[in-house]
Amino acid sequence: MGLVRLEAITWERLGDLLAERLLDLKPGDGSPWPRIAFDGAPAAQPGHLAESVAEALRIRGRSALVIGTEGFLRPASLRFEYGHQDVEAYYNGWFDTAALWREVFGPLEPAGDGRVLPDLWDPATDRATRSPYVQLPPGALLLLHGPLLLRHWFPFDLAVHVRLSPGALRRRTPESEHWTLPAYERYESEVAPGDTADVLVRADDPRRPAWNG
């Protein structure tokens, strides 16, 4: 990642400023539903920021649907086909990107019907969630959060990357999950999410984020 000037901010203020920015966001493909990425490793907790932005949008009279990619994990038999700590499988095969295209992004295309499935698979039970579809009215925003999001060519209208330095990522990732760290090293090398994203948030100190606002 190149040199980027960042300024300190609180999480609450960050959520408010991002919501203000999203109020005027118009999808480039003519879709009535803006699609926003909150990209980051689980240790960076991008879902917390997505929820904060959704609440700030609600206060401003705009509805938003927050979806986490953990609800679109593939079944355990596929995730662990090559063992429980296979980095290549984690990088390329843990998340059901085809289902995300079909159940989330497809309905939000310009000619879509806005009927989105919020989750598909429960990793705790390793069973289908059977959640009902959610009908998004025109103008509602999709806030999708999860790791490794910016390598799939999803049609995001704005991307936020919540970044941890390698040291912070290691410290804040449970030791049982340290085997996933090489996947994030590869992601940095191949995708450079800090440069690719429209908004960069640095969260090495979880109490004092900074961003490139």
pLDDT one digit per residue (tens) for the chain, 213 residues: 556 789 999 999 999 999 999 999 999 999 999 999 999 999 999 999 999 999 999 999 999 999 999 999 999 999 999 999 999 999 999 999 999 999 999 999 999 999 999 999 999 999 999 999 999 999 999 999 999 999 999 999 999 999 999 999 999 999 999 999 999 999 999 999 999 999 999 999 999 999 998
Q: Report d(CA 201, CA 213) in Å as an integer.
A: 9
Angle at alpha carbon of residue 158, lines to 163 and 134, rounded to 5°: 105
Q: Report d(CA 85, CA 72) in Å as an integer.
A: 19
Q: Report d(CA 172, CA 100) in Å as an integer.
A: 28
Taking the whole predicted model, whether its pTM rises above 0.85 is answered as yes
Largest CA distance in the chain: 47
3 state DSSP class of 92: helix
Nearest Cα to Cα of residue 90 among 98, 81, 99: 81
